[in-house]
Amino acid sequence: MAEASTKHVMDREKIGQQMYEFIRALYPICRSITGAGLRETLKQISEHIPLQISEVATGTEVFDWTVPKEWNIRDAYIKNLAGERVVDFRKSNLHVVSYSVPVRTRLPLSELKTHLFTLLDHPDWIPYRTSYYQETWGFCLRHQDLLRMKDEQYEVCIDSSLDAGHLTYGEYHLPGEEESEVLISCHTCHPSLCNDNLSGIALATFLARHLSTQPRRYSYRFLFIPGTIGSITWLSRNEDKTHRIKHGLVAACVGDPGKSTYKKSRQGDAEIDKAVTHVLKHSGQDYEIMDFSPYGYDERQYNSPGFNLPVGSLMRTPNGRYPEYHTSADNLDFVSAESLKDSYQKYLSVIQVLENNRTYINLNPKCEPQLGKRGLYRLMGGDRDTGFDQMSLLWVLNLSDGRHSLLDIAERSGYEFSVIKNAAHALCEKALLKESSGP
Amino acid sequence: MAEASTKHVMDREKIGQQMYEFIRALYPICRSITGAGLRETLKQISEHIPLQISEVATGTEVFDWTVPKEWNIRDAYIKNLAGERVVDFRKSNLHVVSYSVPVRTRLPLSELKTHLFTLLDHPDWIPYRTSYYQETWGFCLRHQDLLRMKDEQYEVCIDSSLDAGHLTYGEYHLPGEEESEVLISCHTCHPSLCNDNLSGIALATFLARHLSTQPRRYSYRFLFIPGTIGSITWLSRNEDKTHRIKHGLVAACVGDPGKSTYKKSRQGDAEIDKAVTHVLKHSGQDYEIMDFSPYGYDERQYNSPGFNLPVGSLMRTPNGRYPEYHTSADNLDFVSAESLKDSYQKYLSVIQVLENNRTYINLNPKCEPQLGKRGLYRLMGGDRDTGFDQMSLLWVLNLSDGRHSLLDIAERSGYEFSVIKNAAHALCEKALLKESSGP
Amino acid sequence: MAEASTKHVMDREKIGQQMYEFIRALYPICRSITGAGLRETLKQISEHIPLQISEVATGTEVFDWTVPKEWNIRDAYIKNLAGERVVDFRKSNLHVVSYSVPVRTRLPLSELKTHLFTLLDHPDWIPYRTSYYQETWGFCLRHQDLLRMKDEQYEVCIDSSLDAGHLTYGEYHLPGEEESEVLISCHTCHPSLCNDNLSGIALATFLARHLSTQPRRYSYRFLFIPGTIGSITWLSRNEDKTHRIKHGLVAACVGDPGKSTYKKSRQGDAEIDKAVTHVLKHSGQDYEIMDFSPYGYDERQYNSPGFNLPVGSLMRTPNGRYPEYHTSADNLDFVSAESLKDSYQKYLSVIQVLENNRTYINLNPKCEPQLGKRGLYRLMGGDRDTGFDQMSLLWVLNLSDGRHSLLDIAERSGYEFSVIKNAAHALCEKALLKESSGP
């Protein structure tokens, strides 16, 4: 991958702000695992990258699952006797339990309460609830607002529809020199929630846009899909292509102020696991590495034993570990341009490692070559022109026996990957190294 | 193995006391590696379980060893000039060095002393000494009693016999669904010593009695044998059966107040090693895991390189690590019903793991199955009815690829084995899992 | 290897002093990678061991390198206007940059300064500099002397020659029972520097002399070679013999007061790595184990990927880690007879391990043999006559299955190697053990 041009450097400076603005634009839309909100979101992503949209009909069997009915909603409220909307979908789409069936009725508070959900610990936050596979209805509201509701009759309206339709997802494939793919997957089914997962959508969109302008060794596949049912649907329809996925990341929760957290693939020692660990270790920031567990986002499906794809998840604070998770507090204040930019840069760094992680053979394997006669002797570490030093050359020469990738050499020597990569390129130029078929 | 019925639950409550009473009954008997005391002990065990008794003639060659003469003793004493028994076998059978040849003589204290053994550090305890393979005689006594002995002539009598006879051992084989065996071995050669090893005898006896009432996957073989020469004799006579021993434990020192200690098999990572470690880790109590070393009890023979059987030893405080070891202080006060019951329950828990540790195949390996439509969605952890939760289901599904046993899954997920087992059984019922031929 | 006789014990007592005296004799010689000083050094070594001297002509191609011109020097100085030698080669051969071309000129201080090297941090020490592959000249001096030099004209003379000639090295091969070799390599190219590397030269010389008097399982090859170009030259000329090198050590920096430090071979788990680690662990002294890195001394060449020989380096304080390194302070005060003797003894201990590290088969693998009937029962640990105890016998018997070397058994049991070796020899004598073909 070529060095960033001045234009791209400037882009990178602005990238955090651009991602944040995109999140702001998408925030009001009422997304779910199907329906108009999801379509509108994909349309807005398409303004940045040429997304290929798929529509899968309700009732389609996808492995053990069936594509559900399509859900759409226009309005919803609870009115008191005075005719005031005490709960109003127009103020927050979190107020309605996602996939609520249409309802129009009058109920006393006592009966209504069985359909109301609040957070006792955070009485001023609205929880986020769904009921995709059980037909019911409900409202989520601030606990403090529930306490204010009098014991009277209420008018309840959910102007929704749950009918045969389609599940929609977006896909962007960027061909590279190799057919082998890097998969970047994000879920697009959450309504007005910023970190989970407008941050992942924004990161994937801008990363795809950037990579489209770069030379690429790998092909890249970006998936914008509803959680669980979306990845199951995609895997079901693309089973013959999954063998191409050589590395993958699920992008979610990348905009909050927490430290970077990497959840490993089920394999645990896949190249993506090593690459992300390396990048975080050299980031100069605090970070955490978690073992794989069969919970979380769509890595659950990619890592199911029948696929066992090397797909990890690079997040900031993981799902369920921050109090704002799945509440109205996961809003535009909870994510920042700064965190988004930092996450974006770490994704780019990981991709740089993957793109450049090749295995080489030392063409002068018996004793060291004489570096001096090639102008490679006593190069200093801080050398801005070369980006490597003499020790990195010696490490690359010593370990380039066809069994150590550049990432292996970086890990064993303690050098940051790019220094080892630069040293390897310099040695290739001097015909002291050539690419090997791999470790 | 079926769930414990009410009767069995009550049995378990009483089991500690029952074991203690059995120890109390066996305590006075003067056991050695051969002879009447050993036979009487096996007879009493036979009142609980139908023991098969073997008699192996003196002189029989067993690998590098020869079955020794049979030793029996009726009485022994040292009388002072006043005719008083200053050392009296009738008061404690520890007073006579085991396998002492018959003697009837008069000696001054100075000569007698070369045959007397005491403990300087514990002047009120009688040591335990043997001389199986060197014909000699001796007395063990309290050091404080030795100090009281005047410098006079003593009458010495050991009314023993050391003649051609037999080595006796007991064996109880419980057939299971599989020919593969779990071996439980304990030594039965120590005289009035409670922890080492009446506790092991009691535990093995009551464990065998319990297992005889249960459905069994494995066959079980309980050995009640004299230490060293007994296991060598058994192995020599049953060499063709040893390949069936898939797991084994040597039961010794299981009644003292110390924490549980597991000494691994020579293999170090055998299934029995993993199973015991898992049980102790989840016991909620302090415990210790020791690497194998070629000393201790009969695990030395089972783990000799020509057999290398996966036999560990689950004890409380190991041999030699408590001051009461091999002294008269290893008495009825040193062991307790409570400790015996705790050890018994840990043995049972280990057996539960072994019995249920199978390897399964996820029959819906591509993506997660839809648990909701099978009534398995959002089950809570504390659910008394199911004994598993949703995360345990997901772990079993994710790792059931034919290469992970349930114990492997329990270890990787952090769950207690029984939760993983229950989850697996629930998934089998829903036809989402089937047993595999093994990892 | 036989036990040390009384004479050898006495030799060992004196060995530190003898090594120190040898260093004192070699100290004044002006060595470089070629030339008269190197030849004189090899001549003095030859007075202790029958060195085979090789002369390799300038211009000879050795892998990627070319044997350089031969450098010799007779005198060198900087004179001030008063005719005083302000820098005088006759006072220290470090004053001249090694391989300085001949020069005879007059220069003002300002111009002269570009050829002067000092140490700001240690103004009273002379640095050591070389310029083997770039034709230039220079002087090294105390910074305090530079400050005293007036801004005047100086007469500069380096009476050196740089002409076609030879690279000289010495080699001593001691045949053993096996053709497999232990390589001991030291560099001989440094002028008046004691730790780096007269200490290594002295150790290798006296070790070789001692081993020549001993029975040997392995053959031993001692190389006295100029750094880098010397090992490259030797490897280039002896490529067909390198497969014989089964273990190797680079001897350097073995006389300073620091703790012992072992730098592992590139393989990292070679037998030499285990042997040295074992010796240091049981030395009762502080020590450090370093991973291999492709820098340091001639281990760089032996461990290049085309050879990958199991050669580590057993030093005291490694190159570059002590301030006296490559300065006039690495003098006769910096090394001591005591440190030299300690290093020598550790080398000998390592060789004892290598010589005796065989793999055995237990000839009585089924159950323990009866040690008592062979007089091997209850041997005490401190027994001066046997040098082993009963537990060591049991460990050797238990692990002698053809897959554990004696060093493996020592490591697993925690015993010092010699105890395990003695136990194995005792068991061989009793026909309970025989040598195996190896793990």
User: For C239-244, what is the mean pLDDT?
Assistant: 98
| C367/B236 touch (CB, cutoff 8 Å), yes or no | yes
Distance from CA of B182 to the nearest CA of A (A): 32
Contacts A–B by Cβ distance under 8 A:
63
Q: Cα separation of B165 and B99, whole Å?
A: 14
Kindly list the residues from chain B whose CB atom is less than 8 angstroms away from the CB atom of residue C430.
none
| A367/C134 touch (CB, cutoff 8 Å), yes or no | no
Q: Report the residue from A236, A300, A305 with minimal CB separation from B365.
A: A305
Chain B residues in contact with chain C using a Cβ-Cβ cutoff of 8 Å: 63-65, 133-134, 228, 231-232, 235-236, 239, 266, 293-295, 300-301, 303-308
pLDDT of residue B191 exceeding 50: yes
| A301/B368 touch (CB, cutoff 8 Å), yes or no | yes
Kindly list the residues from chain B whose CB atom is less than 8 angstroms away from the CB atom of residue C373.
133
User: For B165-192, what is the mean pLDDT?
Assistant: 98
Distance from CA of A10 to the nearest CA of B (A): 41
pLDDT of residue C423: 97
Per-residue 3-state assignment (H helix, E strand, C coil) for chain B? CCCCCHHHHHHHHHHHHHHHHHHHHHCCCCCCCCCHHHHHHHHHHHCCCCCEEEEEECCCEECCEECCCEEEEEEEEEECCCCCEEEECCCCHHHECECCCCEEEEEEHHHHHHHEECCCCCCCCCECCECCCCCCCCEECCHHHHHHCCCCEEEEEEEEEEECCEEEEEEEEECCCCCCEEEEEEECCCCCCHHHHHHHHHHHHHHHHHHCCCCCCCEEEEEEECCCHHHHHHHHHCHHHHHHEEEEEEECCCCCCCCEEEECCCCCCCHHHHHHHHHHHCCCCCEEEECCCCCCCCHHHHCCCCCCCCEEEEECCCCCCCCCCCECCCCCCCCCHHHHHHHHHHHHHHHHHHHHCCEEEECCCCCCCCCHHHCCCCCCCCCCCCCCCHHHHHHHHHHCEEEEEHHHHHHHHCCCHHHHHHHHHHHHHCCCEEECCCC
pLDDT of residue C7: 59
pLDDT of residue B377: 77
| A304/B370 touch (CB, cutoff 8 Å), yes or no | no
For B239, nearest residue in chain C (alpha carbons): C366
CB B346 within 8 A of CB B306: no
Distance from CA of A76 to the nearest CA of B (A): 27
pLDDT digits (tens, 9 = 90+) for B92-110: 999 999 999 999 999 999 9
For A394, nearest residue in chain C (alpha carbons): C294
| B395/A231 touch (CB, cutoff 8 Å), yes or no | no
| B64/C367 touch (CB, cutoff 8 Å), yes or no | yes
For C393, nearest residue in chain B (alpha carbons): B294
What is the helix (H) or strand (E) element at residue A297, kind and residue range? none
pLDDT of residue C6 exceeding 80: no
- The CA-atom distances, in angstroms, between C145 and each of A162, C85, C89, C150, C333 are 94, 12, 14, 10, 22
Kindly list the residues from chain B whose CB atom is less than 8 angstroms away from the CB atom of residue C366.
63, 235-236, 239, 304, 306-307
Distance from CA of A301 to the nearest CA of B (A): 4
Kindly list the residues from chain A whose CB atom is less than 8 angstroms away from the CB atom of residue C231.
367
pLDDT digits (tens, 9 = 90+) for A407-433: 999 999 999 999 999 999 999 999 999
| Partners of B85 in beta bridges | B79
A372 DSSP assignment:
G
Q: Strand, helix or coil at A335? A: coil
pLDDT digits (tens, 9 = 90+) for A70-125: 999 999 999 999 999 999 999 999 999 999 999 999 999 999 999 999 999 999 99
Q: Which of C60, C64, C234 is the mutation pick for testing A, counting most A CBs within 10 A?
A: C64
| B301/C397 touch (CB, cutoff 8 Å), yes or no | no
Q: Which of C212, C233, C232 is nearest to C222 (CA)?
A: C212
Q: Name the token pair of A258.
A: 């927490």
Distance from CA of A64 to the nearest CA of B (A): 5
pLDDT of residue C383 exceeding 60: no
User: For B403-429, what is the mean pLDDT?
Assistant: 97
Q: Which of A319, A296, A293 is nearest to A228 (CA)?
A: A296
pLDDT category, A348, cuts 50, 70, 90?
Answer: very high
Contacts A–C by Cβ distance under 8 A:
63
Q: Which of C360, C364, C367 is the mutation pick for testing B, counting most B CBs within 10 A?
A: C367
Per-residue 3-state assignment (H helix, E strand, C coil) for chain C? CCCCCHHHHHHHHHHHHHHHHHHHHHCCCCCCCCCHHHHHHHHHHHCCCCCEEEEEECCCEECCEECCCEEEEEEEEEECCCCCEEEECCCCHHHECECCCCEEEEEEHHHHHHHEECCCCCCCCCECCECCCCCCCCEECCHHHHHHCCCCEEEEEEEEEEECCEEEEEEEEECCCCCCEEEEEEECCCCCCHHHHHHHHHHHHHHHHHHCCCCCCCEEEEEEECCCHHHHHHHHHCHHHHHHEEEEEEECCCCCCCCEEEECCCCCCCHHHHHHHHHHHCCCCCEEEECCCCCCCCHHHHCCCCCCCCEEEEECCCCCCCCCCCECCCCCCCCCHHHHHHHHHHHHHHHHHHHHCCEEEECCCCCCCCCHHHCCCCCCCCCCCCCCCHHHHHHHHHHCEEEEEHHHHHHHHCCCHHHHHHHHHHHHHCCCEEECCCC
Q: Does the bond joining A357 to the residue before it have cis omega, within 30 degrees of 0?
A: no
pLDDT digits (tens, 9 = 90+) for A136-190: 999 999 999 999 999 999 999 999 999 999 999 999 999 999 999 999 999 999 9
Q: Which of B144, B188, B232, B362 is nearest to A307 (CA)?
A: B362
Kindly list the residues from chain A whose CB atom is less than 8 angstroms away from the CB atom of residue B373.
133
Sort A17 into a burial class: Cβ within 10 Å, 0-12 / 13-18 / 19+: middle
* CB neighbour burial string for C267-290, b if at least 16 within 10 angstroms, e if fewer: beebbbbbbbbbbbebbeeebeee
Q: Cα separation of C411 and B292, whole Å?
A: 14
| C305/A372 touch (CB, cutoff 8 Å), yes or no | no
The rounded mean pLDDT for chain B is: 95
pLDDT digits (tens, 9 = 90+) for A202-222: 999 999 999 999 999 999 999
pLDDT of residue C386: 75
Residue type, C294: P
Tell me the ipTM for this assembly: 0.94
pLDDT category, A1, cuts 50, 70, 90?
Answer: very low
Q: Which of B152, B255, B145 is nearest to B198 (CA)?
A: B255
CA neighbours within 13 Å on the CB side: how many for C85? 13
| B394/A307 touch (CB, cutoff 8 Å), yes or no | no
| Partners of C158 in beta bridges | C76, C103
| C398/B303 touch (CB, cutoff 8 Å), yes or no | yes
Query: What is the DSSP code string of A198-220?
Result: IHHHHHHHHHHHHHTTS--SSEE
Q: Cα separation of A260 and A242, whole Å?
A: 28
| B306/C372 touch (CB, cutoff 8 Å), yes or no | no
Chain C residues in contact with chain A using a Cβ-Cβ cutoff of 8 Å: 63-65, 133-134, 228, 231-232, 235-236, 239, 266, 293-295, 300-301, 303-308
pLDDT digits (tens, 9 = 90+) for A371-421: 999 988 765 444 456 789 999 999 999 999 999 999 999 999 999 999 999
pLDDT of residue B325: 98
Higher pLDDT, B1 or B363: B363
pLDDT of residue B7: 59
pLDDT of residue B324 exceeding 60: yes
Partners for C (CB, 8 Å, 3+ pairs)? A, B
Q: Pseudo-torsion of CA A86, A89, A94, A96, nearest 10°?
A: 90
Q: Which of B359, B360, B362, B366 is the mutation pick for testing A, counting most A CBs within 10 A?
A: B366
